[in-house]
Structure 1
């Protein structure tokens, strides 16, 4: 065996193929680096907002999810875009409403990448974060509330109350 074919450790068997880096194998499901996103055009942002407005009235979604959707839409409306009208998802009225929300959220990284100004990127980032919070509320409503409380205390530390008194351990002099 040539020197380069020896495993790195003499008593260790060669590494399996899936652990070795190979540049000749290409995953057909991953687009090339230059073509980062699929060629299908994105639905208009306004259409997604209208679908979100329709989803907030959904009987399929829990009250926690719809409440967070209302928060996200109100935040967006107060940012100057106005409150959207309602529109059905492309999959229709009988689609899985949580999956429709997930599809809208999955488009946000592409929307942020295509935004022209920093202000637009920040607005989309905040809206996406609020929508993720709504999606997460479908399976962990208490975790979402805990995260909101932590954010509020980080922004306003006086809400946490006075700091704990410092106690000097026995045997230590002050």
Structure 2
């Protein structure tokens, strides 16, 4: 059995100084969400053996909020930036090699991946985290309905945002 943890980046600013979507940083709400994610991760007992993070600024900034809890070094990849369901499956089949993996990425792709793997429609909000048990033994066996949700967390948003 494999474990897949997915974290959607926290809320991002509408624009970046460069004008590029890739360069958008976290918004004030996103920093609030990152703090909530950090607080939540302090309570977790299952940590990944392998970590993949989209190299976009907002995903890196979100991951920085939990990096202190990780026991392994993250791999940052441009291939995860706004990746589709098919791209995410291909990425996991090609790159994942440990029994427990954390993927930090973007919607719509990551919510589509969760929905595909569980067979239930699930949409992660910004800062949303989900842990799934995959009822397979190898990453190249990813298929619809092969996962069940073990843990789901969505950070609450302060009413001032």
Higher Rg of the two aligned structures: 1
| TM-score using structure 1 length | 0.29
Task: Select the structure with the greater relative contact order (CA < 8 A; seq sep ≥ 6).
Answer: 2
Structure with the largest fraction of strand: 2
Structure with the largest fraction of helix: 1
